[in-house]
Amino acid sequence: MGFTIAVISSELFAPRIKTIASEFSDAHFYYYTYKRPTEAREIVQSLPEVDAVFFAGTFPYYHGKAALEERKLPVYVMKQDEAVVTATLLQASWTYQVSPDKISIDLTDPVLAHEIVSEISPEKNFGAVLKIDPEMSLSSVVQFHVYAQQSGRAKVAITSLHAVHEELTRAGYASLYMWELTRTLARALAQTTHLARLSKSQKAEPAVVLVRHDGANESFYSTVRQYLQSPWFAHDSETAQFITTRKHIEYVIGLSEFREFLEASDARTGIGYGLDILTATRHAEDALDYSNKGGIFLMDAQKNLSSPISSERITLQLTEPNQVQLAKRMGLSPANLSRLLRFHAIHPSNQFTAQDLENHLNVTRRSTERIIKKCVDHGLVTASGEEMTYQQGRPRTIYTFTLPDYLKR
């Protein structure tokens, strides 16, 4: 299965990436080069559909990040580390026969450079060090190195920025561009191909959409079908089911008019991903249980619950062995036990009523009472009192959580 990767790099670094990238036969690399990192913003905005993006530096990523978040693409960013700084220092010593005290250097983490020099040459330090950030002007970085050489503090500049290296060289100053080790670069590209492969396989995952709408007519479901490009059939008497792919869902959920249509219709929508349709359907059912009128919830294959109309992200998967065993003993689904624990974590009091839990779980009163009974039977809650909110009618039972420590969040 082939996949595509966009490489965003300086013009100086791109040929080296191409040489190593040729070893990855199942990946197609598309190269987008810049002279200045700020150009990455426009590059990202015009990227075609790809499976992953490789940034050959933190600065272009910084400038393209906002546009990338809208695309929701997996990203790998090359960052400066001990290997690249050490390799470039070695190159400087061989090429210009200089020690660190005759080098000016700019980098995002000066502490890193000082630590390396203290290890290999404790009695010396850099001639001049500049901490750089994405908002810094390139001209100020150039001037830093120019002044270091003119004043005699440095004989050669080491820079992280392609444009700075070019300008220094053009002006006749000695300069070296940060030198990435072949092994480090190959490992970074391998990790990017892994991200791309995973992204492509996820996009092909089955996706199930369950839409529940009281009194919906054929026109409503016809509109949903047009967006999802999928026929529908009855999941139950009140719910329509659509089967499609994760890739298409990610596209259609990105359409504001589709989200607004579902919200305005007061429909409850649950979306599920999974390795097969049966699993995706179960996840869609769990997501639908969480949704209220006008709400949209999505559960992925890892049982992470999220909403495209909210930044909230909830994990409904039990990871502690004790929790998993307890769910089995209680005859309670891991999702429902996880939701119960979340209710305990966010509820302002250790006490609650069946109505409180029903509102949180968004399930029927009968289902809520069944969950409470199982919790009482297994010692997770106790009936601790009653409250009368009206002068007539039955009093409401007050329950108190008595969770063991391993269940508390």
Beta strands 296-299 and 175-177 are: unpaired
Residue type, position 281, single letter: T
Greater model confidence, 19 or 325: 19
| Residue 188: predicted pLDDT | 92
**d(Cα 330, Cα 402) in Å, to the nearest integer?**
15
279-298 pLDDT, tens digit per residue, is 899 899 888 887 878 889 89
Task: Calculate mean pLDDT across residues 295-312.
Answer: 79
| Residue 170: predicted pLDDT | 96
381-405 pLDDT, tens digit per residue, is 999 887 655 555 567 889 999 888 7
Given a cut of 70, whether residue 136 has pLDDT beyond it is yes
| 291 DSSP assignment | -
> Do residues 291 and 209 lie in contact, with contact meaning Cβ atoms separated by under 8 Å?
no
Given a cut of 80, whether residue 214 has pLDDT beyond it is no
**d(Cα 374, Cα 378) in Å, to the nearest integer?**
6
| Residue 8: predicted pLDDT | 97
| Residue 365: predicted pLDDT | 82
| Residue 330: predicted pLDDT | 85
**SS3 at position 175:** strand
Given a cut of 70, whether residue 148 has pLDDT beyond it is yes
78: tokens are 């090359």
Greater model confidence, 347 or 75: 75
Given a cut of 80, whether residue 311 has pLDDT beyond it is no
Beta strands 351-352 and 396-401 are: antiparallel
List the single range of 97-111, 169-183, 204-218 with lowest mean pLDDT: 204-218
Query: CB-hemisphere CA count at 13 Å for 5?
Result: 33
Task: Calculate mean pLDDT across residues 265-278.
Answer: 89
> Phi and psi (nearest 5°) for 131?
-85, 125
Task: Calculate mean pLDDT across residues 45-62.
Answer: 92
Comparing C-alpha atoms, which of 183, 127, 166 is closest to residue 150? 127
Given a cut of 80, whether residue 20 has pLDDT beyond it is yes
| Residue 393: predicted pLDDT | 56
Give the dihedral sign, CA 35/39/42/45.
positive
Starting from the edge strand earliest in sequence, which strands make up the sheet with 156-159, in order? 128-131, 103-107, 156-159, 175-177
| 256 DSSP assignment | H
Task: Calculate mean pLDDT across residues 296-321.
Answer: 72
| Residue 103: predicted pLDDT | 95
| Residue 362: predicted pLDDT | 66
> Do residues 356 and 347 lie in contact, with contact meaning Cβ atoms separated by under 8 Å?
yes
pLDDT, averaged across the chain: 86
Greater model confidence, 320 or 161: 161
314-372 pLDDT, tens digit per residue, is 555 556 677 778 888 888 777 778 778 878 877 777 889 988 888 777 677 888 888 99
Going by C-beta distance under 8 Å and a sequence separation of 6 or more, which residues neighbour residue 290? 270, 297, 305, 339, 362
List the single range of 134-148, 214-228, 302-316 with lowest mean pLDDT: 302-316
